[in-house]
Structure 1
Amino acid sequence: MQALRYSINVTLDGCVHHEAGVAPDEELMRFWTDELRRADALVYGRVTYEMMQSAWRRPVSGGWPDGMDAWEVPFAETIDAARKHVVSNTLASVDWNADLVRGDLATEVQRLKEEPGRGLSLGAVTLPAALADLGLIDEYLFVVHPLVAGHGPRLLDGQHERLRLELVERRAFASGAVAHRYVPQR
């Protein structure tokens, strides 16, 4: 069974909004590229899928934008080529190597986990709270950035059940960000 791994950038006050000022530097971009490569597919909610598609889909010209730094290209190529599962009841269709996940959330995500592979990478803001409540997330990776956003959506906001985690890895970056990898205590 594949592990479902939730990973996200977060501020000290728990903000997970992409505009909170947590853009990765070169070291963090290499880290996130390696994390994507650990998975056979990505699982996104609609909003995250649309945001990532607008930022990281290869342009129709075939080349990456001139403004993209060379150290961003491996991440862009990895995410662009990755298989994606989009959880949405509002989208009529998806492309960008993606398929729609509809129906009962627990049943459909469990089905994805039962497919052969190295793992699934979950990236979203609201979807993870529902999946955590269902006990479907096998690993949590929070890259905590040394800033306070003061506003915005919070990490796992809306989760109903208490979640006890065990720290299994910690890594500090030159920027002051710290990656914390956890697994649920069973």
Structure 2
Amino acid sequence: MRPLRYAINVTLDGCVHHEAGVAPDEELMRFWTEQMTQSDAELYGRVTFEMMREAWRRPDDGVWPDWMETWEHDFADTLDRAKKYVVSSTLDEVDWNAELVRGDLGEAVRALKEQPGKGLSVGGLALSSALTDLGLIDEFLFVVHPIVAGHGPYLLEGLRERVNLELVERREFGSGATLMRYTPRP
């Protein structure tokens, strides 16, 4: 069974909004690129999928935009090529190497996990909370940035039940950000 990993950048006060100042530097971008290569596919909700596609899809002319640093190209290339699953009840179709996931969320994700492979990676907010509530996330990977945002949205906001976790890895980056990898405790 493929493990499902929830991976996200977060501030010290739990904010996970992409505009909270948690943009990765070169070292973290290499880390996130490596993480993607350890999964067979990315699993997104509609909002995260559209945000990631807007930022990281290769333009039709094949040239990355001027705003993108050269050291971001490997991440962009890796994500652009990655298989993606999109959980949405409002989209009729998706592009960008993506496939829609419909029906019962638990059943659909269990079926994806049962396929052979290295693993699946989920990002974003609402979908990750729903999958945590369903007990389907096998690993939580948080890169905690030394920033206090003072506003949300917040990490795993609205969970129905408390989730006990065990720390299995901790790593510090040059920026002061800290990777904390957890697995659910039985």
- TM-score class, shorter-chain normalisation, is over 0.9
* 1:2-31 superposed Cα distances (whole Å, 9 cap, x missing partner): 000000000011000000000000000000
- Structure 1 residue 152, shift from structure 2 partner: 1.8
Give me the whole-angstrom Cα distance separating, in 2, the residues matched to 1:130 and 1:40. Answer: 21
| Other-structure match for 1:177 | 177
Give me the whole-angstrom Cα distance separating, in 1, the residues matched to 2:92 and 2:150. Answer: 35
- Structure 1 residue 97, shift from structure 2 partner: 0.2
Give me the whole-angstrom Cα distance separating, in 1, the residues matched to 2:47 and 2:67. Answer: 24
| Other-structure match for 1:159 | 159
| Other-structure match for 1:52 | 52
- Structure 1 residue 161, shift from structure 2 partner: 1.0
Structure 2 residue runs of 5 or longer lacking an equivalent are none
| Paired residue total | 186
| Amino acid aligned to 1:49 | F
Q: SS state of the match for residue 129, structure 1?
A: helix
| Other-structure match for 1:102 | 102
- Structure 1 residue 158, shift from structure 2 partner: 1.1
- Structure 1 residue 126, shift from structure 2 partner: 1.1
Q: TM-score, normalised by structure 1?
A: 0.99
Is 2:42 the partner of 1:42?
Answer: yes
Give me the whole-angstrom Cα distance separating, in 2, the residues matched to 1:147 and 1:114. Answer: 38
Give me the whole-angstrom Cα distance separating, in 2, the residues matched to 1:55 and 1:152. Answer: 21
- Structure 1 residue 66, shift from structure 2 partner: 2.7
Q: SS state of the match for residue 7, structure 1?
A: strand
| Other-structure match for 2:16 | 16
> Identity, % of aligned pairs?
67
| Other-structure match for 1:31 | 31
Give me the whole-angstrom Cα distance separating, in 2, the residues matched to 1:68 and 1:15. Answer: 24
Give me the whole-angstrom Cα distance separating, in 2, the residues matched to 1:167 and 1:152. Answer: 24
| Amino acid aligned to 1:127 | L
Q: SS state of the match for residue 106, structure 1?
A: helix
* 1:25-79 superposed Cα distances (whole Å, 9 cap, x missing partner): 0000000000011000000010000000000000000121233211101000000
| Amino acid aligned to 2:77 | E
Q: Name whichever of 62-71 and 153-162 sits farther off.
A: 62-71
| Other-structure match for 2:116 | 116
* 1:117-157 superposed Cα distances (whole Å, 9 cap, x missing partner): 10001011111111111110000000000011111200000
Is 2:149 the partner of 1:149?
Answer: yes
Structure 1 residue runs of 5 or longer lacking an equivalent are none
Q: TM-score, normalised by structure 2?
A: 0.99
Is 2:114 the partner of 1:126?
Answer: no
